[in-house]
Structure 1
Amino acid sequence: MRWASGSALLVLASATAACGPATQSERESASEQSYAPNVAPAPAEMAADVAGAPAGVRVTAAPGVAFNYRYAFSLPAERIAAAQEEHAAACEKLGVARCRITGMRYQLAGEDRVQAMLAFKLDPTLARQFGKEGIAAIQKAEGTLVDAEITGTDAGAEINRLAAERARLSEELARIDRELARTNLPASERAELQTQRAEIAQRIEAGRTSSGEQRESLANTPMTFDYRSGRAVRGFDAGAPLTSSLDLLAASAQATLAFVLGAIAVLGPPALVALIGLLVWRRFRPRVRRPKAAEVEAGV
């Protein structure tokens, strides 16, 4: 009976030790064996769709993938600044923990020609809905989405690869340390092992840096809005032949008027000087007396 109680206590102690807290290195190793982040699903209010918006990709459907969103809009030049400001305000409303503005550009390229850009870094769970709301704001400003691109990088797989490579290098480093601990090691061999150790340590540190960059790409989703001036969306298909013909007629008339005004601006001053000179010459030119008919007959 006493033997049975001792055995039970031994088994209980073994189970407690097995379930005890792991060391820091063991926890890191376990977390890096298979990286598949648990991304919280988007809130219910983010399920609303916007007409004409691209489908996008839910982060829950592709865990471990780092996405990059890019949208291009065309809208009237005078409304670009307001649309850009509305998008910036929407990001600021989310707070810096979930959305940060990382770049902005507004360029007046010519008469009624504007090019602008706004760049963000977003919480991955908000990127899809933020893009839809951005498109809706452009549509309200009588603009249109002309290009949408969503690219992804399998950052999770790269993190796992880097973790496996780091584990292999750590084993190699431990082997070299055991060799360096030998007291009878020749000086030339010791120098070679120390060189190898330094190189492996650098590779391990580079792997840690790269792994951190991949984790950063998973935690923050880049999004870019490009704006350019263009015609407003009409009540019928902008690609219809009638619309295209009207646009061509307007562009041709504008080009013709610009050419005429340019010609007047270039040739006007010389023509005015020539006209004034002609008037002066006609006013002060020498008058030649014509002979009378009697004088002509007498001369004949």
Structure 2
Amino acid sequence: MRWTSGSALLVLASTIAACGPAPQGERESASEQSYAPSEVRPPAEMAADRGGAPTNAAGAPAGIAVTASPGVAFNYRYAFSLPAARVAAAQEDHAAACEKLGIARCRITGMRYQLLGEDRVTAMLAFKLDPTLARQFGKEGIAAIQKAEGTLIDAEITGTDAGAEISRLAAERARLTEELARIDRELARTNLPASERVELQTQRAGITQRLEAGRAATGEQRESLANTPMTFDYRSGRAVRGFDAGAPLTSSLDLLAASAQATLAFVLGAIAVLGPPALVALIGLLVWRRFRQRARRPKPAETTASD
């Protein structure tokens, strides 16, 4: 397991280096490029290539189509549970799937792998995706986890109305531009008093700063629409059983195992805490009884006198 984890980390590190942020010109061309439907395979077809289903067994939502919510910037987060020995391989499969799409449509922005114990692993993989591919990529990622005998345990999709914010910023920019034009007309006057000119110049500098901040905010909102963040969280857990993990029998067995582990842990903890003091007390008691017995024995002189 340690060898597999180490090799997976090396591959992922090289992948992140190859999938770094795209140049500015390449990002702009990618945001303006339209992808034909024939370039993207259906989720069911890609899941079939991996031997998994396009959705998870519980039927949890795997994404939201961007056409259903135009102007909304989505953020996808999935959490998976799978055997510890398969976490590194699943993480590597997801990284390879992103690399296959190309840096114009998918970039790896972060990675983490932690070996907490012999059978305890946590990991994370973060992406930025073309919004038109986010839903499909999520389904394919779930299918890869199912193939690795894992399951989807949490799915969260949040959205921000970036389109409305861009419209508000555009209206604010238009109002500030008109105000700036009015100030420039006032500053063009030759008979303007010096004190008023200083005041208008101060106002102009403030408006210019607000315009620059508005342009930066508009750029951030457009960036959120052009690139969809997606995060995969991995944690070690049991393999998927042959029957529903939420069934009463399975829940009872899990509760029994958890109770036995808690009881054993409590007993071992009590022994570890109380064992040394109890041992010292026992030794002290034995020593005290030994000296007490010696003290009670009659001395030879006393025995002779009594005779």
Shorter chain as denominator, the TM-score bin is: 0.7 to 0.9
Q: 1:84 — aligned with what?
A: 91
Higher-Rg member (1/2): 1
CA–CA separation in structure 2 for the residues paired with 1:266 and 1:168:
72
TM-score by length of 1: 0.72
Q: CA shift at 1:57, angstroms? A: 1.3
CA–CA separation in structure 2 for the residues paired with 1:128 and 1:246:
36
Q: 1:216 aligns with which of 220, 223, 234?
A: 223
Q: 1:51 aligns with which of 50, 55, 78?
A: 55
1:219-258 matched pairs, under 5 angstroms? 219-258=226-265
Q: 2:162 — aligned with what?
A: 155
C-alpha distance after superposition, 1:162-200 (max 9, x if no partner) = 122112211111111111111011111111111111111
SS of the residue corresponding to residue 237 of structure 1 reads: coil
SS of the residue corresponding to residue 200 of structure 1 reads: helix
Structure 1 residue runs of 5 or longer lacking an equivalent are 1-36, 290-298
TM-score by length of 2: 0.71
CA–CA separation in structure 2 for the residues paired with 1:202 and 1:271:
74
The amino acid that maps onto 1:186 is P
The amino acid that maps onto 1:153 is T
Q: CA shift at 1:79, angstroms? A: 1.9
CA–CA separation in structure 1 for the residues paired with 2:275 and 2:192:
96
Q: CA shift at 1:272, angstroms? A: 8.5
Structure 2 residue runs of 5 or longer lacking an equivalent are 1-31, 45-52, 299-306
The amino acid that maps onto 2:42 is M
Moved more, 44-53 or 134-143: 44-53
SS of the residue corresponding to residue 45 of structure 1 reads: coil
Contact 1:41 1:60 in 2 (8 A): no
Q: 1:140 aligns with which of 128, 147, 154?
A: 147
**Does the C-alpha gap of structure 1 residues 267 and 200 become closer, same or farther in structure 2, counting only changes over 3 Å?**
closer
1:125 aligns with 2:132: yes
C-alpha distance after superposition, 1:201-228 (max 9, x if no partner) = 1111111111111111111110011112
CA–CA separation in structure 2 for the residues paired with 1:83 and 1:114:
12
SS of the residue corresponding to residue 41 of structure 2 reads: helix
Q: CA shift at 1:59, angstroms? A: 1.6
Contact 2:55 2:142 in 1 (8 A): no
1:1-300 matched pairs, under 5 angstroms? 40=35, 42=37, 43=39, 45-48=41-44, 50-52=54-56, 54-110=61-117, 112-261=119-268
CA–CA separation in structure 1 for the residues paired with 2:192 and 2:270:
91
CA–CA separation in structure 2 for the residues paired with 1:271 and 1:170:
83
SS of the residue corresponding to residue 185 of structure 2 reads: helix
The amino acid that maps onto 1:50 is P
SS of the residue corresponding to residue 201 of structure 2 reads: helix
SS of the residue corresponding to residue 63 of structure 2 reads: coil
Contact 1:39 1:59 in 2 (8 A): no
Q: 2:12 — aligned with what?
A: none
Percent identity between the aligned chains?
83
Q: 2:304 — aligned with what?
A: none
The amino acid that maps onto 1:162 is L
**Does the C-alpha gap of structure 1 residues 178 and 247 become closer, same or farther in structure 2, counting only changes over 3 Å?**
same
Q: CA RMSD in A?
A: 3.1
C-alpha distance after superposition, 1:245-280 (max 9, x if no partner) = 1112222333344455556666778889979x98xx
